[in-house]
Structure 1
Amino acid sequence: MDSPPDPADEFRNWLELPRDVTASILLRLGAVEILTSAQRVCSPWRKLCKDPSMWRAVDMRNPDNKWEDYELELEWMCRDAVDRSCGQLIDINLENFGTDELLRHIADSSSQLKRLGLVRCFSISDKGLSGVAAKLPLLEELAISYCSLSKEALEAVGRCCPLLKSLNFNIRWHMRNGDYDGEAVAIAENMSELRRLQLFGNKVTNEGLQAILDGCPHLESLDLRRCLNLTLAGDLGRRCAQQIKHLRLPHDSTDDYEFNDYCSVVDVSGGSVVSDDDYDYEEYGHVDIEYFEAYDHPDNQ
């Protein structure tokens, strides 16, 4: 008869895991979870969570919108994470918070930054992003979605970041008077090394698209979904098909678009609004205030 299993074999002591395995597990949690929870478990985990190698990538995206009432706490945490990287930060994503001052802190502390993602960061301005662009000479990917940024910021990034290969510039399409092709021209004239471009919901017209195709000869992937001012018939449509390996057209499906939960699209025909598919009305829940009270502010560490 087999002897009963030793209870010690049934429960793993997580503190006995190899350091690299523990680090791999913690990295899957994300920056906010590490700062508010994981680092409080035990002294070895707290020590590991202070290692600069843990902060080469900082993901503070907030897809559930559950932290929207805690912008100040999120900014403190972001500064803490950037400081912990000790200059090793190469990838950072912000969502629903962020200011020009925070962006300046990131740029001043992160000369090796290669990827910057901004989602609904309405307090980051053209002046703010333009002012730090020169401090990001190694930037290769810039993802901007639903922010209050325009061609001014794109021009500065293009001039100062010659290694830029990938750009997302996604906005809410809406009808208004103005220069519909300003952003497209800024891209065409300042980002000649682009390989990938996403312009979801942009106001770009055929003239602006023509400028991009002329000014970005290395472009391989182009996403034009919901760019409803475009008419891709005739020579321009054929050129897109021939020049671009991975092409998404204005009326292609948006099922795999990561921001479908709150994207807004207005279709226009003959100058009048035909449909308004707005997914931004979902009512999100809120976390208890105790969740963030558990965070150790850097001033108290």
Structure 2
Amino acid sequence: MASEAAGLARGARRRVRVVHPAAAQTRSAEDWWWDRLAPSGSGYHLLQSDSMLLVLPGPGPARLRAQRRAARQARRLRSPGSRAVEAKPSSAPTPLQEPDPGWGDRVPLEILLQIFGLLVAADGPIPFLGRAARVCRRWNEAASQPALWHTLTLSPPLVGRPAKTGAKAEKKLLSSLEWLMPNRFSQLQRLTLIHWKSQVHLVLKLVSESCPRLTFLKLSDCHGVTLDALIMIAKACPQLHSLDLQHSMVKSTAVVSFLEEAGPRMRKLWLTYNPQTTAILGALLGSCCPQLQVLEVSTGLNHNIIPFQLPIEALQKGCPQLQVLRLLNLTWLPKPSGRAMTPGPGFPSLEELCLASSTCNFVSNEVLGRLLHGSPHLRLLDLRGCARITPAGLHDLPCQELEQLYLGLYDMSDRLTLAKEGSPLLTQKWCHSLRELDLSGQGFSEKDLEQALAAFSGTLGCSQLALCSLNLRGTRVTPGTVSSVISSCPGLLYLNLESCRCLPRGLKQAYRCPEEVQWCLEQLLTSLPSPS
């Protein structure tokens, strides 16, 4: 019995030594590092986040790990086996403080709105705002501000499924929009609807009731757009000035009625050509949109069969403020000018003209002259597929500061091109301003191309060369000509030499960065014969 009592006493003494107050004061390595990073009395404290360690000014919160460690030690002291020998601590433990809410709640709401606004301007509100709203209450409050939801694209899920399933998905999304439109999208400015088949008129009704600041509306692959819906949008959104109806089934009568209601303020209009487009163009010729700046009429490749006529002079009178005109992949048959017809007023503000086509094209030098005789500020000219245009006709145009010229092939790379000449007329006129030049598939001879591209060597008085993109695909350009152009144009970022039969093997490819272009120059210089 005496030996057992002695053993119990030794065990009690060991337990007392383990929980002695002096042992609780020993500092761990973690505490040492915390004190080194933010010493006590320095006016700074540490705050641990998910992926960073922040040093913040001011008094800091209690260290949670140290608190949890002290709590565990206190529980061990109060365990049943050590109640008889428990040593009372010298002082009461520090009460646990409330956990720090995090730095997200400390940022003022105005600053968060500015930060979110920059991100939304760069990448759009989706999916960033939806994710930010789940971070904390402060972020949710910021992400819910209607001012951030100024651009939106809505597409019902399950696209491509059976019609019944798609209609059910549209109704489900529509029920959500009934709350979102007045509470989140009240300051919406740009709206795009894609693949709506049955409920698009109800969505437009919600937009007209809750989004008076709408300026841009795009309906892509939408069915069932009614006359009443468009008229409702035109009346309820007085700032609406841009309408995109490409690839949507909309009756021409609905579009004409919309233009009659909102035409005086319309700035941009996108259409897909169909037999009903003639009525819409007739409304434009009647000066219903005198402030129109962008007009695009296009169709899919190999979809346009019936040519349509467009009187150039009437369009110039009906849309005098036009800045961008795109007639893409259309069999456009311009009406003849006639002997007694006076030239039109032209497009004095026109900066971009695109007539690219993969079908039979009737655009000639005479038609191009009628279009551009009053357009001295033209910057972009896309004539891909216009085989009747010659360099002499381009040289006579009044524009002197052309920056982008596209004369290549448009979706007809395998078509045989006829021999041409006169390319030096183009580069000698615009070598000082051209940034992008496309001569792909043109039948200029080796000598003709050499003289044309020599304009970029600086020998013809062009002190500042802006050329950064050159497409010579399928031409007869020679290695010496290419190396001269690369050496003379240090800002060249894109060079296409595919299918150039006069170049050595291994170099017939597209180069899409300055490093690749310089590598091409090095290979060309090594392949050229040394001068005797």
User: What TM-score does the superposition give when structure 2 sets the normalisation length?
Assistant: 0.40
1:233 aligns with 2:334: no
In structure 2, the residue corresponding to 1:48 is in which secondary structure? helix
Deviations 1:83-118 (A, max 9, x none): 135743222222222511211221222222211122
2:298 to 196, 200, 203: 200
User: In structure 1, what is the Cα distance between the partners aligned to 2:253 and 2:381?
Assistant: 26
Deviation at 1:49, TM superposition (A): 2.5
- The change in CA–CA distance for 1:61 and 1:111 in structure 2 (over 3 A counts) is closer
Counterpart in 2 of 1:39?
133
2:214 to 113, 116, 119: 113
- The change in CA–CA distance for 1:197 and 1:26 in structure 2 (over 3 A counts) is closer
Residues 44-123 of structure 1: pairs in structure 2 closer than 5 A = 44-55=138-149, 57-60=150-153, 68=159, 69=166, 70-85=169-184, 87-97=186-196, 99-123=200-224
- The change in CA–CA distance for 1:236 and 1:180 in structure 2 (over 3 A counts) is farther
1:124 aligns with 2:225: yes
- The change in CA–CA distance for 1:34 and 1:22 in structure 2 (over 3 A counts) is closer
Contact 1:184/1:208 (<8 A) preserved? no
Deviation at 1:165, TM superposition (A): 0.9
- The change in CA–CA distance for 1:35 and 1:160 in structure 2 (over 3 A counts) is same
Identity among equivalent pairs (%): 18
Aligned AA (1:182): A
Deviation at 1:234, TM superposition (A): 5.2
- The change in CA–CA distance for 1:35 and 1:91 in structure 2 (over 3 A counts) is same
Counterpart in 1 of 2:246?
145
1:168 aligns with 2:270: yes
Deviations 1:139-187 (A, max 9, x none): 121122211124323322322222111111135x6xxxx5562221122
- The change in CA–CA distance for 1:138 and 1:22 in structure 2 (over 3 A counts) is closer
1:182 aligns with 2:279: yes
**Larger relative contact order (Cα-Cα within 8 Å, sequence gap ≥ 6):** 1
Contact 2:187/2:211 (<8 A) preserved? yes
In structure 2, the residue corresponding to 1:40 is in which secondary structure? coil
Aligned AA (2:315): I
Contact 1:195/1:221 (<8 A) preserved? yes
In structure 1, the residue corresponding to 2:151 is in which secondary structure? strand
Structure 2: tracts of 5 or more residues without a match = 1-32, 38-45, 54-101, 160-165, 334-361, 387-532
User: In structure 2, what is the Cα distance between the partners aligned to 1:181 and 1:236?
Assistant: 20
1:11 aligns with 2:142: no
2:325 to 222, 232, 235: 222
Counterpart in 2 of 1:154?
255
Structure 1: tracts of 5 or more residues without a match = 253-301
Q: CA RMSD in A?
A: 3.6
- The change in CA–CA distance for 1:74 and 1:169 in structure 2 (over 3 A counts) is farther
- The change in CA–CA distance for 1:220 and 1:28 in structure 2 (over 3 A counts) is closer
Aligned AA (2:147): S
Contact 1:107/1:136 (<8 A) preserved? yes
Deviations 1:14-64 (A, max 9, x none): 725541214433666645536754423322222122212122x132156xx
Deviation at 1:67, TM superposition (A): 5.3
User: In structure 1, what is the Cα distance between the partners aligned to 2:276 and 2:321?
Assistant: 26
In structure 2, the residue corresponding to 1:154 is in which secondary structure? helix
Aligned AA (1:165): R
